[in-house]
A and B are shown apart, each in its own frame.
Chain A
Amino acid sequence: MIADFEYFAPKTVKEALSLLSQYKDAKIIAGGQSLLVILKQRLVTPEYLIDIKGIAALDYIKYDEGKGLRIGALTLHRAIEKSPVIKKHFGVLSEMEGNLATIQTRNWGTIGGNICHGDPAGDPAPVFIALKAKLKLARLGGERILDMEEFSKDYLEVALDPGEMLSEIQLPIPPPHTGVASEKLMVMKGDMGIVGAAVSITLSPRDGVCQDARIALSNCASTPLRAKKAEKVLIGKNINEGLLTKAGEVASEEVDPPADVHGSAEYRREMVKVFVRRAAIKALERARAA
């Protein structure tokens, strides 16, 4: 089934980074909930597997009123789903996790593993883009910060340089009067979205005009996609029903969705209209209530 590999289980980030820079044909495995699928299919056949699941130092959720939320790369989906502090301050993440695969997957899979896998259909990436997340990428002797929206390069390809690994996801506190929501088209609960949309709307406290908007889509391209033209439909305006519908329509023109067994490109385009609108309606309600 799975092709043979040499296996390492480092206990610290430094050890892991050493191994990564030492062995060129190496893949990192965390929970393996994405990687094992493609290992079994032999889509990838790394010579070396670096198992970082045992690095306890990367499993944490830290919240600070000023700095925001910091999530260690090895935090379980289930921990994010159930975290009281995330439910309170970043509720959209708990919601997203509650619809991510199944409990069994969430009990072992990690948030870092999910986004490093780079599946454009993945649920977390668009939500992180909507939340303006930054990623901390570690390498021997240093680290760098990258915007979440710069992270995806192509289908299953992310912007990790050789010798680099994701160590932390950083989420700034959203400005006041911000609402964020995510919606996806699922046949069964837990499926990755046939399409998915995450929307963030920030309203001006003075006059309720939309100060900022982010619209990020899953499964509409080879990477998670920001629908920037659709965002511009909302920014600077007093948002009404018509504008939400228009945003959905503009977003559907920005995408180049795949056609596969779950849906044709045309169907996905139609569904972008629906799900951008649904997520935007919820985000707007939340922004007004905030």
Chain B
Amino acid sequence: MGELKELRLTINGKPYELKVKARTLLVELLRNELKLTGTKIGCLDSACGACTVHIDGKAVRSCSVLALQVNNREVTTIEGVADGDKLHPIQQAMIDHGAIECGFCTPGMVMSAKALLAENPDPTREEIREAIQGNLCADEGYVKYIEAIEIAAREMRGGK
């Protein structure tokens, strides 16, 4: 009980070899152990999506995954989205379009949007809405986020 278990994974392209308690949630590992605090905790209860990360490219709530379950997998967090100082088109579009108010839901929104556009580079508005259905925003949500994602998608397709 409570003994540490081995965990090997890649986070944002970097390999990690860790020892964690079995009851550690992925979000706790990211934020508390690894100080990757870009991923936010909005509810801890699988309701808000602020904690959304990618596991093998798929959007998942990190508050609802035991850290040990991502053994040998690739995790991407919001910290892995920008290219150094150069923001990702999704991030840039959200800023330029005024989608961000308090910013708390934003990392989760970016991760959901990024997962969508990786699978579907030319989504309809309905598909964008569906993709961020699991990301709650208590401020302006959701029109500007949807529009920003549309703009980013167009940008990523080369402006078409």
- Chain A interfacial positions (CB closer than 8 Å to B): 1-7, 9, 29, 32-33, 36-37, 40, 47, 49, 51, 53-54, 78, 101-105, 107-108, 189-190
Residues of B within 8 A of A102 (CB): 49, 133-134
B61 contacts A49, C-beta separation under 8 Å: no
B66 contacts A105, C-beta separation under 8 Å: no
Residue contacts A-B, CB under 8 angstroms, 8 given? A1-B25, A1-B44, A4-B1, A36-B64, A103-B112, A104-B134, A108-B55, A190-B133
| C-alpha gap A51/B58 in the complex (Å) | 20
Docked complex: B7-64 residues within 8 A CB-CB of A: 21-23, 25, 44-46, 49, 52, 55, 58-61, 64
Among A5, A7, A189, which residue has its beta carbon within 8 angstroms of that of B133? A189
A107 contacts B59, C-beta separation under 8 Å: yes
B112 contacts A104, C-beta separation under 8 Å: yes
B69 contacts A103, C-beta separation under 8 Å: no
Residues of A within 8 A of B131 (CB): 103
A52 to nearest B CB, angstroms? 10
* B58: nearest chain-A partner, CB-CB: A107
| C-alpha gap A78/B116 in the complex (Å) | 13
**Other A-B pairs, 9, CB within 8 Å; known A32-B66, A33-B46, A54-B71:** A2-B25, A36-B25, A36-B65, A36-B66, A103-B112, A103-B134, A104-B60, A105-B64, A108-B65
A190/B68 contact (C-beta < 8 A), A104-B112, A107-B58 known: no
A32/B134 contact (C-beta < 8 A), A104-B52, A104-B59 known: no
Residues of A within 8 A of B65 (CB): 32, 36, 108
| C-alpha gap A37/B44 in the complex (Å) | 9
A5/B1 contact (C-beta < 8 A), A104-B59, A104-B61 known: yes
| Leading 6 A-B pairs by shortest Cβ distance | A102-B134, A7-B22, A2-B23, A107-B58, A104-B61, A104-B134
**Interface of B, helix, strand, loop or mixed by DSSP:** mixed
B21 to nearest A CB, angstroms? 7
Contact mask B64-78 → A, CB, 8 Å, 1/0?
111011010000000
B79 interfacial contact with A, CB 8 Å? no
Among B44, B64, B130, which residue has its beta carbon within 8 angstroms of that of A32? B64
* A53: nearest chain-B partner, CB-CB: B69
B66 contacts A104, C-beta separation under 8 Å: no
Residues of A within 8 A of B52 (CB): 104
Residues of A within 8 A of B130 (CB): 103
Chain A CB count within 10 A is highest, among B5, B52, B68, B115, for B68
B69 contacts A51, C-beta separation under 8 Å: yes
Residues of B within 8 A of A49 (CB): 22
Among B5, B23, B45, B60, which residue has its beta carbon within 8 angstroms of that of A107? B60
